[in-house]
Amino acid sequence: MNPTIAVIGAGGWGTALAVTMARVHASVRLWVFEPDLARTIREQRRNPVYLDGIEVPPGIRVGTELDEILDGADIVITAVPSHVFRGVWRRMRPHVRPSMKLVTATKGIETGSLMRMSEVIADVVGDAFTPSVAAISGPTFALEVARGKPTALVVASSDPDLRRDLQRQLSTPRFRLYTNADIVGVEIGASVKNVIAIAAGVVSGLELGHNATAALITRGLVEIMRMAEACGGRRDTLAGLAGLGDLVLTCTGQLSRNRQVGFALGQGKTRAEIISSMKMVAEGIITSESTHALARRLDVEMPIAEQIYAVLHEGKDLGRAIEELMEREPREE
C-alpha cells in the first residue's frame, strides 16, 4: 500500500522531508503555520523563508488547516520546533486516529516537563489511546536532504513492527533508514548534541584550534552517553548515526545553526543579538536550559553543557567558562 503522509511543519526540515517523501509517494501533505507562506508555497512551489532554492513538487498538498492535512493520513511526521511542539499537538489531537503511525522529527527536550518529544505526544493523546510513536534522527542537513544528497539516519521505536514498517515506507534510494529499538537514546542524542554544537562553535569563533574541537566533540559525546543512560537509554546507541554521526555533523558542518550560534558567541555577540539575526530556531539555545535542568534532576555530570547553559542563560563570561573546563580536577578517561 502506498501510504498518505502528512508532514506537520514547513520549516527547513519539514519541507525537506515532504520533498523527499514526494519522490516515492504520490500522496504527501505539508502543514504550514503561516498563511502567507502557505500561499507562497502553493503559488511558487518553493519555500523562500526556510528552504530557498528547492522546488516543492506540485504533488505535495499544502495547507494551514490541520483537520484537512491529517484527514486520511497513514503516517504523521511532526517537524516543528520543540518549544511549540506540545501546542501543535494539542491542536492535532482531535484529528489523530489510533491507526496512524506517528513520527517525531523534532530534536529537543521540552522546557519545564523535561519530556522527550515522543513522551509529549503520548502525554497529549494518552487519555484517548496509546499511540504508536517513532523518532527519526541522524546526521542530516535539510538542504542536502532536499537536494537528494545521500543520507543515512535512524528510525527508533520500542515497537519492532512500527520501526520496520516505517523503515520500509519512508526509505528512498538516497534516504536510508536504519532501525533502532532505543528511542530514548536516539532522542537524547538528537537533543543534547545541539548544546555541544554550540560549544564547538565557540571553539571555532575563538580560534582555539582543531585539537580543542576534537577534544570537545569527544568529551561531549561522553556527556550525551551519560545522559542517555540515566534516562534509560543505551550508551552504544550513541556510537551510531543518531549519536556520534549527528554530533560530528552538527559540530563541524557549516550549515549547522547551533554551531553558528556558538561561533557568534565566540566572536563577541550577545545571545539577544544572535537570536534577533536568525530566522530559524537554533534548538540548542532552548535545549541548553532543559538539558541543564534534566542533568540536575538526574545528577548527571555534564560540564560542557553546564558551561554553555551558564553562558547563554546566566551571562557568564566565555573566557571564564573555558578556564573552568580546562582547570577541572584531572581524572582517568
Q: Is 193 a catalytic residue?
A: yes
Amino acid at 142: A
**78 bridge partner residues:** 8, 104
Sign of CA dihedral 188, 191, 195, 196: positive
Place of cell 520533498: 19
Q: Work out whether strand 28-31 and strand 5-8 pair parallel, antiparallel, or are unpaired.
A: parallel
Active-site residue (options: 101, 149, 193, 269): 193
Catalytic residues: 193
